[in-house]
Amino acid sequence: MTSMVAYIGVSLVLFTLGAIGVCIRRNAIVVFMCIEMMLNAVNLAFVAFSKLQGNLDGQVAVFFVMVIAAAESAVGLAIIISVFRSIVSVETTDAAQLKW
């Protein structure tokens, strides 16, 4: 049986990699994927703590986080596509061209 420390360790590594990716990368799609990775790390921690406590509250929270993440993905990708059509780039540094 896998210990709680292993689940939290993997969750911590995933969240750290996602946070580093958000801070370092300039491509909007990669930043978007790093945010999704951070959400999945939190979901893993929710499930691990839910298993530790022996109830389903964490798993219900994960369900709602996944629903919100799916909606966020649809809206986020639509915004990225519209920005790409305007400036033909998905680099976050090029978004300064969108000023009014």
Cα 76 to chain center, whole Å? 12
pLDDT by residue (tens digit) across 43-81? 999 999 999 899 999 999 999 999 999 998 899 889 888
Q: Supply the range of the domain harboring residue 53.
A: 26-93
How many other C-beta atoms are found inside a 10 Å radius of the C-beta of residue 29?
A: 13
Reported as a pLDDT band with limits 50, 70 and 90, residue 1 is low
CA distance linking residue 14 with residue 22, whole number of Å: 12
Could you tell me if residue 98 is inside a domain? no
35 strand-pairing partners: none
Return the residue matching tokens 């990699």: 17
Could you tell me if residue 99 is inside a domain? no
Total domains, the chain:
1
Cα 36 to chain center, whole Å? 2
Asked whether the predicted pLDDT for residue 29 surpasses 80, the reply is yes
Contacts 24+ apart (CB under 8 A), 79-83: 80/28, 80/29, 80/32, 83/28
pTM score: 0.84
The arithmetic mean of pLDDT across residues 35-49, rounded, is 94
The pLDDT, as a whole number, for residue 35 is 93
Asked whether the predicted pLDDT for residue 100 surpasses 70, the reply is no
Could you tell me if residue 78 is inside a domain? yes
CA distance linking residue 97 with residue 99, whole number of Å: 6
* Averaged pLDDT score across all residues of the chain: 89
CATH at 66: 1.10.287.3510
